[in-house]
Homo-oligomer: A and B are copies of this chain.
Amino acid sequence: METELSKRLGIEHAIFGFTPFPAVAAAISRAGGMGVLGAVRYSDADELARSLDWMEENTGGRPYGLDVVMPAKKVEGVSEADIEAMIPEGHREYVRQVLAKHGVPELGPDDVSGWRITGWMEQVARNQLDVAFDYPIKLLANALGSPPADVIARAHEHDILVAALAGSARHAGHHKDAGIDIVVAQGYEAGGHTGEIASMVLVPEVVSAVEGIPVLAAGGIGTGEQVAAGLALGAQGVWLGSVWLTTTEAELPSQVLIDKLLAAGSGDTVRSRALTGKPARQLRTEWTDAWEDPAGPGTLPMPLQGLLVADAVSRIQKYETEPLLGTPVGQIVGQMNSERSVQAVFDDLTRGFERAVDRINRIAGRA
């Protein structure tokens, strides 16, 4: 499965796999794709360095990438404490009520809240980049907006291609103007932050809007047939995130959560602001319902919402409170029905792709 972009990056298959887990990212690269490690959970730069050391030892010299979250809007000279202080007490009380209703215990004195806002702040992302540029990463992706010009320039000095996610053709056009190398067109059906335009419409619109820049199709892709569809729409590769969550290499915090993912149907996700303040597709839970409830206070804007709920999310994960337990995931969760190794997922993707190509050729009268 070769495109101009996959050749340029030196990967066998034009399949890009985003994951927060180094073991998954390395396995994707070893399987012939481009493993892209999500950096948002590394608020400590040394911890990121240790993970990248591990990647170096476990990718067998194959290319891999890093995904940072650098918000488009700068928040200069504002500390986490300043932002904490902006959260209304009524919202804090609502979080306490929802957790109490489900009997979620407090964290212990030694527990650290696992999912903090800090990874979303520019200074943290910049510290991550200072570390990352010491490693031979091949791709730097940014999940929120275009990276700043100096970051793009530094990446290019290191022969790193820069990718940015876009949920609309207009958004993609801004990325092109900013000088990025790859646009990830992320459709409505995708897990995580996503817009309202479905992949079937978004991908060709973005391809046309950024003519000359390669586009990856993201959202709704978890089988080889979906890979073929994404490529038929004009993409030079596909970007998959959700499908890796139920691989044997993934390190989800809870078996209850894994079981929920395996049982969920495509209709069991929701685009909700509950986790970050921006619409992100995730499992629909009593937690997301609580933030839709007209009797509740509703969500706060990013980055307040993420800070508001960080401890609560850690508690829900630690105590595996089933009705509240969720994760970002796309509509393809309905097709994630068994735990497989990354290599097995990859084999299914390439075999399914070949089947789809056979099928299309028969329909076109070329078989």
The residues of A with any CB-CB pair to B shorter than 8 Å are: 1-3, 14, 168-169, 187-189, 195-202, 204-205, 219-221, 223, 225-226, 228-234, 265-267, 330-332, 334-335, 353-354, 356-357, 359-361, 363-366
The count of identical subunits is 2
A198-B331, A200-B230, A229-B229 provided; 11 other pairs, C-beta below 8 A? A2-B363, A3-B363, A14-B363, A168-B267, A201-B226, A201-B331, A202-B266, A205-B335, A228-B229, A232-B232, A361-B366
Secondary structure type dominating chain A contacts: helix
Q: How far is the CA of A354 from the CA of B189 in the complex (A)?
A: 27
**A225-B234, A233-B225, A361-B361 given as contacts; is B204 within 8 A of A219 (CB)?**
no
Is A360 in contact with B266, judged by CB distance below 8 angstroms? no
CB within 8 A of A199: which of B168, B198, B363? Answer: B198
Is B359 in contact with A231, judged by CB distance below 8 angstroms? yes
Q: How far is the CA of A231 from the CA of B220 in the complex (A)?
A: 16
Is B200 in contact with A229, judged by CB distance below 8 angstroms? yes
Task: Tell me, rounded to whole Å, the shortest Cβ–Cβ distance linking A359 to chain B.
Answer: 7
Is A232 in contact with B197, judged by CB distance below 8 angstroms? no
Is A266 in contact with B363, judged by CB distance below 8 angstroms? no
**A228-B360, A353-B364, A360-B231 given as contacts; is B267 within 8 A of A197 (CB)?**
yes
